[in-house]
């Protein structure tokens, strides 16, 4: 159950970044914190842009034994030696991605706040499901994921669960007993005091 251990930290890259500067920033984060996984999120739909970022960040992550997954682009994961894929459309593509990437690949699924979608993803073979956002988000078209969803999942379902999106310090503390991972993106990279200080503040709430 999730509440028996401190949640692990999962990083989501900004959708746009200058590759050299961000690689340095990510390296520092991985060197100073225990990070379970990194997700490459790219605003660009150009394969060459995503592939260039994938190659660079793969070297950063693999040098530190941290897996790197890419959001939605399973073929990029296969071509560039990434560890898996994070799907933003629930359970729809999981079986196809498993065939494409193999049994050892990490395949995660974002399921909004739907227990039904989460269960379908788990049954299809997802290695984890994520629910979110945790609060109202102007960029989200869905209602916030409820604490009850995480609590129920952690008590009933064995597939690991990730909390992501609009995570405040207070929400991190509240949801900590009921999630296996927190996935942080803009909460860290956009912080005024820098990502390291921001993550330290979150860790103080969830440990």
Terminal alpha carbon distance of the chain = 16
| Number of domains composing the chain | 1
What confidence score (pLDDT) does residue 2 get? 40
pLDDT over 60 at 135, yes or no: yes
pLDDT digits 0-9 by tens, 104-131? 999 999 999 999 999 999 999 999 999 9
CATH number for the domain spanning 111: value is 3.20.20.70
Is the model's pLDDT at 203 over the cut of 70? yes
Instruction: Supply the pLDDT for residue 207.
Output: 79
Q: State the residue range of the domain holding 108.
A: 2-206
pLDDT band per the 50, 70, 90 thresholds, residue 140: low
- Give the whole-angstrom CA distance, residue 174 versus residue 197: 20
Residues 11-26: tens digit of each pLDDT: 999 999 999 999 999 9
pLDDT at 149 over 80: yes
Residues 47-88: pLDDT tens digits? 999 999 999 999 999 999 999 999 999 999 999 999 999 999
What is the model's pLDDT at position 3? 40
């Amino acid at each position: 159950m999730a509440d028996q251990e401190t949640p692990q930290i999962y990083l989501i890259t900004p959708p746009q970044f200058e590759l050299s500067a961000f690689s340095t920033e990510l390296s520092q984060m991985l060197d100073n914190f225990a990070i379970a996984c990194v997700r490459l999120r790219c605003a660009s739909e150009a394969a060459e842009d995503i592939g260039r970022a994938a190659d660079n960040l793969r070297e950063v992550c693999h040098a530190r034994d941290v897996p790197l997954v890419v959001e939605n682009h399973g073929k990029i994961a296969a071509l560039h030696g990434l560890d898996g894929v994070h799907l933003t459309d629930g359970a729809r593509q999981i079986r196809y991605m498993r065939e494409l990437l193999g049994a050892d690949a990490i395949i995660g699924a974002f399921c909004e706040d739907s227990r039904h979608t989460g269960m379908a993803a788990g049954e299809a073979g997802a290695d984890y499901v994520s629910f979110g956002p945790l609060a109202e988000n102007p960029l989200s078209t869905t209602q916030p994921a409820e604490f009850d969803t995480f609590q129920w999942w952690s008590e009933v379902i064995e597939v690991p669960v990730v909390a992501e999106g609009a995570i405040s310090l207070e929400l991190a503390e509240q949801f900590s007993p009921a999630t296996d991972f927190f996935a942080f993106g803009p909460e860290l990279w956009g912080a005024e005091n820098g990502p390291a200080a921001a993550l330290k503040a979150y860790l103080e709430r969830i440990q």
